[in-house]
Structure 1
């Protein structure tokens, strides 16, 4: 490259000045960090601008100017993975939304502002928006899973690994990209189980239509290919937040006349009038199903 494009000279005063930032790695066209300096060799021409007869020779003079450029931003950021784990459902459901799957340390050997990290981001591979970067300390970052179990289940059908491309940029505008591979546990199973095998409730026969009788409750269990099983007995609202609101309740037996209904929150209610003389007891069978099962 023509190094002279980085410099200009005042036409009458002879002051040499730079016309653009002097990034050493751009001048060298390399990322080599062992170069300690760079010398630009310029040739300066001075000519007499006075009026001369055509037969006279115009006075001129040349000189060599050597400009020694000292580096201040020799090093690009260095990205190192301090901890890395497989993305698996072998984590308790309560931890989703805060699970840390990689701890990244970013360093830079330059001094001053050029050694400071200005940004660290995921620039590719996060098209499903499963992950986010959070700043743990000045140069330490966490990569966290922020989606629900259901999202993870859906992706496990077609993906076995995520390749996230992260980018660190120092305040001298040098960047480093690195690919982080996060494996996805292929073998998932999830089961919903009622907190009680039987529910019992007494009801007056003069109850109004729409009377709420009781609410069935669930616990969720799931396992990985290693047959490690984890359970939680959360409230239904908490389970819904973990499973993308995709649990469906239905009464599959004992409700031939449609006397009862069940809401999306598992609340059983009356849909018609009750008559104890005709039916003194109902034995309902309720099913809860997640769309991933």
Structure 2
């Protein structure tokens, strides 16, 4: 079955104008089933792509090497999109390096994997033997979570000539079975009638579900309960405490005694609503038994039945609208981020891409983002709920070598809720500072006849850059004395700047020297200084007659 379903995958047209892809796959495919070739459809080659993780269940995976989008698990359409006509799952993909986000929509199409079913396999309908021909009695309808033609299509009744079946369509298009009395009842002739109600869907082949109906014939009860309103509506905030009374439905019956005693029950209610609401069968009070969430379901529709002791009944509709309160903090996530930036990066360079969302609605879901003041960065609205953090000028590593930027998201609730995240950005050095000597000019005095290797003096230069750009090496400049290169007399240590003699000096030969020393950093920037050396005389010559 899985290979057959896989062959039925339909690829929909993709729309590059909005950087959006759309695909369609049937539900219940095995994990790893092919959805679409994202790289091919976007025309991307040798790109690094990944799906953006929002911390929620991921229903799809993206193979980075092939660009194929596949299912990450078996998908049940009825579980994910209950009561939705169209089931669309969305994810976002980012192409690293481009900081471009693409929306991907995958429609999950229905297969006929659910048979119609009744909440109760057996029903009991009690009616008076004086019930008029043509009277109708609403029956519990069947539920089929599938959609379209795979959903519930028809009902069939069998078992007794006293009854026929009518099917009514309500405003929402749901088919509602009704039991119709076709032949007069006689309790003395038959106190019970056994029927079978079959529900059928439109799948190929069709699936069916059945419920047994037992009709109990009663003595005459000629007044049915009547609700005070055909529909009750109530609005409640989502933070209403558990146990609170939401609404009271009221029905009256003109009969007396047991035939006029009204009891209340849920006639039509979803599984989710049955977990949230409690109905007092004596008072008609509907109360809350579990917390409600506007972001999950905002409207609940219930049908309440009032039946008297003779089992005549009336139904009413209750619409409970859940209103939003500010109970969700803005979610601020880093989609992509640089960890370092060169200090000569131009103004407007993007250093991070952020996504912000708030599950609340209205003002409670409107989010404002802000960045620390006094930093050379600003927030720029990128697309939808995305923000870019960009530079406002060139940076200076020698001024600030690392930034810790706090981005804050605040919603419009009262009081507002907020969240924040910190971006750490290291500034990389460029060689924009030349070495600087501690003195522009050095001088020294040295007696003649010192041995080779004697210390003359030490020159020192520093560089404000870092790493290789700050490494300084020294070199003796070109020059001659009496036709002899200075390098024959002096030696400069390239690492330390220490100047030493290569041979002894002779006062009677040369009384002073002028040296030029060059300091060069690892990036090629240079500085120069002058060194004046005076040779001192010693008594090393006897008088000549």
Give the TM-score range, shorter chain.
0.3 to 0.5
TM-score using structure 2 length: 0.25
Q: Whose strand proportion is higher, 1 or 2?
A: 2
TM-score using structure 1 length: 0.41
Larger Rg: 2
